[in-house]
Amino acid sequence: MSFRPEPALADGTPEGTAVLLCNLGTPDAPTAPALRRYLAEFLGDPRVVEIPPLAWKPVLHGIILRTRPAKSAAKYASIWTPDGSPLKVWTEKQATLLRGYLGERGHRVAVEYAMRYGQPSIATRLDALKARGATRVLVLPLYPQYSCTTTASVLDAVQAWGRGVRRLPEFRFVNQYHDHPGYIDALVRRISQYWMTHGRPDRLVLSFHGVPQRTRELGDPYHDQCHATARAVAARLGLDDSQYVVTFQSRFGRATWLQPYTEPTVVGLARAGVRRVDVICPGFVSDCIETLEEIGMEVRQAFLGAGGQAFHHIPCLNDLHEWIAALAAIAEQHLAGWPTRASAPRPLM
Ligand SMILES: C=CC1=C(C)c2cc3[nH]c(cc4nc(cc5[nH]c(cc1n2)c(C)c5CCC(=O)O)C(CCC(=O)O)=C4C)c(C)c3C=C
Ligand SMILES: [Fe+2]
Ligand SMILES: [Fe+2]
Domain 14-177+322-335 matching CATH 3.40.50.12780: the answer reads no
pLDDT recorded at residue 345: 45
Query: What single-letter amino acid sits at 203?
Result: R
pLDDT class for 163, splitting at 50, 70, 90?
very high
Check pocket membership of 220 for ligand 1, CB cut-off 6 A: no
By alpha-carbon position, which residue is closest to atom 27 of ligand 1? 72
CB contact at 8 A, 150 and 141:
yes
Q: Per 3-state DSSP, what percentage of the chain is helix, strand, and coil (rounded to 5)? A: 45, 15, 40
**CB of 82 closer than 8 Å to CB of 88:** no
Using a 6 Å cutoff on CB, does residue 47 contact ligand 1?
Answer: no
Q: Is 227 annotated as a binding residue?
A: no
pLDDT at 339: 87
Confidence at 87, pLDDT banded by 50, 70, 90: very high
Q: What is the DSSP string of 255-286?
A: S-BSSSBHHHHHHHHHHTT--EEEEE-TT-SS
Whether the predicted pLDDT of 149 surpasses 50: yes
* CATH number assigned to the domain covering 181-313: 3.40.50.1400
Q: So what's the pLDDT on residue 285? A: 98
From 222, 289, 294, give the residue whose CB has the most ligand 1 atoms within 8 Å, as the site to mutate: 289
Amino acid at 270: A
- 113: pLDDT strictly greater than 70: yes
**Mean pLDDT to the nearest integer, 57-71:** 97
Identify the nearest ligand to the CA of 288 by its number. Answer: 1
| Of 162 and 341, more confident | 162
Q: Hey, do 14-177+322-335 and 181-313 end up sharing a CATH topology, with the first three levels equal?
A: yes
- Predicted confidence at residue 346, as pLDDT, reads 52
Q: Which atom of ligand 1 has the smallest separation from the CA of 290?
A: 31
* Rounded average pLDDT over 146-164: 98
Cβ of residue 186 lying under 6 Å from some atom of ligand 1 = no
Q: How far is the CA of 209 from the centre of ligand 2 (A)?
A: 7
Give the tens place of pLDDT for each residue, 248-306: 999 999 999 999 999 999 999 999 999 999 999 999 999 999 999 999 999 999 999 99
The SS3 of residue 109 is coil
pLDDT digit string, tens, across residues 168-210: 999 999 999 999 999 999 999 999 999 999 999 999 999 999 9
- Is 334 known as a binding-site position? no
Give me the residue spans of the domains in the chain.
14-177+322-335, 181-313
Query: What percent of the chain is modeled with pLDDT above 90?
Result: 92
Q: Is the CB of 56 under 6 A from ligand 1?
A: no
**CA 93 – CA 117 distance, rounded (Å):** 19
pLDDT exceeds cutoff 90 at 336: yes
Residues 264 and 191: their CA atoms lie apart, in Å, by: 23
Rounded Cα–Cα distance for residues 22 and 151 (Å): 9
User: Does the Cβ of 143 fall within 6 Å of ligand 1?
Assistant: yes
User: What is the ipTM score, two decimals?
Assistant: 0.97
- What is the predicted pLDDT for the residue at 96? 98
